[in-house]
Structure 1
C-alpha cells in the first residue's frame, strides 16, 4: 500500500497550471517538523517535500494559508517516469486547528 499522512505546512506555492485535459494542478513545497522515538531515543525530524494536488483538491491547496500546519494525505510517486526523485501527491487535506 502506498499511503502517506503528514502534518506539515505549505512554505512555497507554484502558479496553478492545467493539464492538456484541463485538470487543474497545484504544486507546492511542504515543511514538516516533529520529534519521534527511534530505538528508544528521541530524534528531531525536519524535512521539506515537493507536493502536488490535482482536481478539486488543487483549489483547496490554493486557499491554504502558508505556514499553517495541516494534515495532508496522499501517496508518493516518481516525479517523471524515469526520475529517481519522489513527489507527494495530495489527495486529501484537513485543517488540524494549529497555528
Structure 2
C-alpha cells in the first residue's frame, strides 16, 4: 500500500525543514524508509527524523563496520555520533543527534 499524497507531501516538507541541503539521492532513500509499513503510523516529522538517522548511520558512517567487528548497537551508535552529526551539518540540518537520544530508526 503506497503512501497517500497527503503523507508524501508531509514527508517532503519535513525533509526540507530538517535538512534543506540533503542530496536528492539521500532524500529518495529516506522517503523509501519512511514508506515502510512500521513507519506509516508515525507523524511525518518523527518518521523522517528516524529514517534520516538510520540512513546516515548505514550509508554515511562506520556503523555497519563496527557491528561487523562485534560492537553492540549502543556502542556502535556512540562511536558514529560525530559522523552522523557531521552529515547533518553538511545538509544544514535544523536538528542534531544527541548522545542520550535513542535515535532508533527504520531498521536500527
Do they superpose with TM above 0.5?
no
Which interval holds the TM-score relative to the shorter structure?
Answer: under 0.3
Bigger strand share: 1
Larger C-alpha radius of gyration, 1 or 2? 1
